Amino acid sequence: VQLQASGGGSAQAGDSLRLSCTASGIDFRSTAMGWFRRPPGGERTFVAVIGWNPDTTYYTDSVKDRFTISRDNAKDTTYLQMNSQQPEDTAVYFCATKRQHPSVAFHHARVDEYNYWGQGTLVTVSS
């Protein structure tokens, strides 16, 4: 299994960035995909998850009205569109595959609910 994340970089407050994560070695269409982030000196925390049904999404409160998670099953890729970025969004962003479960909601914010991880992509937002 490989997850290749890309799209990170530097941005100014208020700018937008889109992260991509392309998967291989998994049945992408039946896998829920998540994004986590680890700020400088902090822990890895949940950002968003999208189910095999793309209408099923969950977000952490701090990004709910600014970030959008989506997926393109034809490309085995999930995206995180980040709008109105703020300095507190500065972090290394990771994509991950969620363990199989009938409900995407099941422990969706827990790091240990995800079994494969990408290498991370750095996003730096300056004020």
Residue-wise pLDDT for 46-99, tens only, equals 999 999 999 999 999 999 999 999 999 999 999 999 999 999 999 999 999 999
- Mean pLDDT rounded to a whole number for the chain: 97
Mean pLDDT computed over 5-32: 97
Residue-wise burial string across 6-43, b where 16 or more C-beta atoms lie within 10 A, e elsewhere: ebbeebeeeeebebbbbbeebebeebbbbbbbeeeeee
Residue 35 pLDDT level (bands cut at 50, 70, 90): very high
